[in-house]
Chain A
Amino acid sequence: MATLICALVLGPFIAGLGLCFVKPDRLRDVVVTVVTLAVWCGSVTLAIQPTPGALAGGLFERTGSQWAMLLTEAAMALYVIWVGIRSWKLLVVALMLAQTGIMAWLGFVSSSHLPEAQAFFVDKFTVIMALINGLIGGGICLYALGYMRGYHEDTHLEVTDRRPLFFALLFVFMGAMFGIIFANSLLWLFLFWEITTLCSFLLIGYTRTAEAQRNALRALTMNLAGGVAFAAAIAWAHQKTGVLELQALIASKQGLALVPAALLCFAGITKSAQLPFSAWLLGAMVAPTPVSALLHSSTMVKAGVYLVLRTAPIIAGTTVGFMVALVGALTFLVGSLAAITTSDAKKVLAYSTVSNLGLVVLCGGIGTHQAVWAGVLLIVFHAIAKCLLFLCVGVVEHRLGSRDIEAMSGLILNMPRVAVMMQIGMAGMFLAPFGMLISKWAVLKAVVDANPALSVFLVFGSAATLFFWVKWMGKLLEVFRPREKFEAEYGAGEAVALYGLSGATSLTCLFFPWISTQFIEPYVVGVYGVSVSMAPGNVVIMIIMMVMVMLFPLSFINYGRWVKVIDAYLGGANLQHSSVRFRGSADKPQEVVTHNYYLWEFVSETWLSRWGTVCAAVLLAIMVLSSMLTKAPARKQTQPSGLSGKTAAALTVR
């Protein structure tokens, strides 16, 4: 098992570093495909094996590895400082110096007596995240092959072709993500966390335009702020509790672990682009679509909420938890409302990502077993559906040359396969009986049981969510122009990813009871000792609904045999029985043009961002302060499986 994990972490790393030097296209295709297949096999193999809990780290626990960690961190720090100086961003420099300073102080204070830590921890939650990262991440890499070829050869000729670096970064990121998922030792987790920040920075700035560089720096700054919080968490944990293992932290007395947990939540909130840090994710949409899909919707941002959910048992029931929940709830509401106001497809998807991650953070903040169950479910379904949507938007943008939703009118006629897959993706995001709806339902129940006042955010947010998704779905369906058939909608690599994800969206909600019992419930039982599930009657009803919805395409079999097609009603002014052209004023022929409602008088994006940021910043401040001031009574310890003997000993020492 340990070797498998090392392979999953290091394999993509090495492949990534190797891809830096692979120039020929075809060779790169082969290498990427082979590595992706290997990652898929590895992830699935991991999934079917029993989970041992904490693990010895194999390669990661040798003395040499500590030096490797230090060197990598030093190299990254130097690079970031140089970037900061070069771009005149003193904040970047300051944050990086703060981070390095804390870590250096830690190293100095503890000299060589860092407590031994089990490097890895594998439970069912880990397995879920590994599957998401491996399967979806691999799929995106395959997609990116065809997409980036088209990107550089057709649509974006002005961008220098740095594809070796691009794919290298994708795989380095994947490896780092695996590292975050499997790491138990906070030091290793921190290293991989920072590697993902760096990857994100480099990938956002891939096109090297001024806008891209600006946004990349913004992402870097905010993630570095999270990194500083992370470093502070590590330092505090070491000083006050002496443990540097995540699982040990979770198991330890709540009073002691609260501050590190709060700081870790802070880091998670920056990584997942919650308010007040949402701006970086919205700006990150300038990057090519595979980047948006991989980093900024399916995997990297999930690392942030993964951390929040892991620390949920610590912060449950405290003011810290309540503040975290409020931040998540606020983000959900603000993100959903803001998504109504824009017609840029990727921006809508970004806002939707931010708001759905807010839901997961809400679950983490509440921290009951129901909430955590709902949170994990949300992660799973959101990763799949959102990734599908980003990939579809990428393909559409490539063919249409625009990512404006208004330009996607009539897509069902012009690019039917992609349009149908987009419909599946969008339905998967909010519609019964698809997965996200089940998750939101679970969240609502968890919220109502824990803290009903928070439900107000949920209900208003879901109403807003509905609006912008159905608006978009309708835009795809309406037909006002005759068909302009595009030659081929997408290539082979893209097809694999798209079909796979569409199938996954539909199948995961059919199989979600199995997913729940196999993966999520064991995790929840392991942490809380109580199991959670959905009543079997409801499961049956959801399956019936799913079957009914899936029957919908069958109705097209008898496609229009007995109906008469007539032009639309245009006040009788139709020209030559056209549904689109009519005789306008002064007998001038005109065409019907429709535009969605954006509710600008009702919802203002700038007002929402400004006040959302302010409120969330206040909440975060309260969160950090209260964690330091709380003298919460030690809560009863739960014994998660696989607590290593060494850390138990360490606990009794301090």
Chain B
Amino acid sequence: MNPWLRLIIYLVAAPIIGGLLAGWDRRISARMQSRQGPPILQPFYDVLKLCRKEAIVVRRSQNFYVFFFLLLMIFTGALFFAGSDLLLVIFALTLATIFLVLGGYKASSPYSFIGAERELIQIMAYEPMVLLTAVGMYMVTDSFYVHDIARHPALLVLTLPGIFLGFLYALEIKFRKSPFDLSSSHHAHQELVRGITTEFSGRGLAMIEIAHWYESVLLLGWVFLFFAAWPVLGIAMSLLVFGLVILVDNVFARLKWQAALRSAWTVTAVLGFGNILALSLLRGHPAPPAAAAVPPANPPDQISAPAAAPSSNLPT
């Protein structure tokens, strides 16, 4: 599929899918708590209502940060689904989240301040694992590019089991669900009031919601990459993982940030790094760099695979 077409489909469909995912999240959580739960379209109603509320802020420029958070989140997802370099996707995602954090700082209120600090701790907790995931995928597929990884014939999860499990751990943090909803919690939890989103209302809050939808789609797309060789299994596993995230959210209480950071880094070091170490030993890395000292007759070597635009079997 033409990457531009994929891009447009993504731009339009991702918030819808993300919103539906959020709606299912609330529905399933409610059912787990023996309740009915809101309609599936509830997140859309919420966002529509928020857009109609009065715009109030604590500092005049705080909503700009959130706007850029949304913009860059869309950009990140667009990069991912267009098949670009996975590391670049991670860096763009970090950039987007940092804009949200800066917005939280800008709002200059004690609750948003704590929320921003804890969001940073969360980022610090999951970032190593996410980077190691990209590294692991590179080691197996020899490319950082999403469209190359997606077309890899082997099932990645079989060679990257540790990384997959570590990634799931990081996913729980990224989705901001218990036990890692340190910075802000959706729905009913009220410790820290609303954390980082405390001082945002109306359009600002709506933008944060929509950005979360884009993020969910991006993250589940990444889960799909682990199973990209069998697309149907991939979609099923993405949804299953999402269900697992919701289950863990409902079962566990919130951890203290120390426990969250320690456990995340331990999981990264053991599962993630262990996987990488195993892969490198099995494949005989490192290749002796003396081989790189070759007479200048060779054509220039690119540091990353060429950014071609072939078709891919990534859905949407």
Contacts and interface: CB of A to CB of B under 8 A. Distances in A.
Contact of A534 (B98, B112, B276, B303): B303
B71 interface: yes
A569 B198 contact: yes
A563 B56 contact: yes
B106 A478 contact: yes
Contacts of B277: 452-453
A467 B131 contact: no
A459 to B, nearest CB: 4
A533 B302 contact: yes
Contacts of A567: 58
A453 B127 CA distance: 17
A382 interface: no
Given A456-B269, A532-B303, A594 B72 contact: no
B290 to A, nearest CB: 5
Interface stretch (B11-19, B21-29, B61-69): B61-69
B289 A533 contact: no
Interface residues of B, number: 86
A537 B292 contact: no
A297 B114 CA distance: 32
A451 interface: yes
A562 B125 CA distance: 38
User: Which of A442, A541, A555, A570 has the largest number of chain B CB atoms within 10 A?
Assistant: A541
B141 interface: no
A560 B295 contact: no
B49 to A, nearest CB: 18
Interface in B261-316: 261-262, 265, 268-269, 273, 276-277, 279-280, 285-290, 292-296, 298, 300-307
Interface in B88-129: 88, 91-92, 94-95, 98, 101-102, 104-113, 116-117, 120-121, 123-125, 127-128
Given A450-B289, A453-B280, A541-B79, A535 B304 contact: yes
A454 to B, nearest CB: 9
Contact of A566 (B56, B87, B106): B56
User: Which of A525, A542, A568 has the largest number of chain B CB atoms within 10 A?
Assistant: A568
Contacts of A592: 109-110
B88 A538 contact: yes
B269 A466 contact: no
A378 to B, nearest CB: 15
Contact of A596 (B58, B117, B135, B258): B117
Given A445-B303, A452-B279, A453-B280, A566 B261 contact: no
A529 B296 contact: yes
Contacts of B102: 470, 473-474, 477
Contacts of B123: 463, 466-467
Contact of A538 (B68, B269, B304): B304
B139 interface: yes
A525 B289 contact: no
A599 B72 CA distance: 29
B56 A568 contact: no
A567 B84 CA distance: 43
A565 interface: yes
B199 interface: yes
B85 interface: yes
A317 interface: yes
Contact of A467 (B111, B120, B286): B120
B290 A636 contact: yes
B219 to A, nearest CB: 18
A574 to B, nearest CB: 10
Given A441-B87, A463-B128, A453 B276 contact: yes
Interface string A620-643: 000000000000000110100000
Contacts, number: 254
Contacts of A431: 94-95, 98
A432 B68 CA distance: 14
Nearest to B305: A535
Interface in A541-577: 541-542, 544-545, 548-549, 552, 555-556, 559-560, 562-570
User: Which of B56, B107, B120 has the largest number of chain A CB atoms within 10 A?
Assistant: B120
A241 to B, nearest CB: 19
Nearest to A597: B117
Nearest to B61: A556
Nearest to A539: B307
Interface string A438-464: 000110110011111101101110111
Nearest to A448: B135
A409 B258 CA distance: 26
Contacts of A432: 88, 91-92, 94-95
A548 B71 contact: yes
Interface of A: 313, 316-317, 366-370, 373, 431-433, 437, 441-442, 444-445, 448-453, 455-456, 458-460, 462-464, 466-467, 470-471, 473-475, 477-480, 525, 528-538, 541-542, 544-545, 548-549, 552, 555-556, 559-560, 562-570, 579, 592, 594, 596-597, 599, 601-602, 635-636, 638
Given A478-B105, A597-B121, 14 more contacts: A370-B303, A432-B91, A441-B87, A452-B139, A453-B277, A459-B132, A475-B105, A478-B108, A532-B302, A565-B60, A569-B193, A569-B198, A602-B262, A635-B290
21 contacts: A369-B292, A431-B98, A444-B131, A448-B138, A452-B139, A452-B277, A453-B273, A453-B277, A456-B128, A460-B128, A471-B120, A538-B88, A541-B79, A545-B95, A548-B71, A555-B67, A564-B56, A568-B107, A569-B193, A579-B108, A594-B113
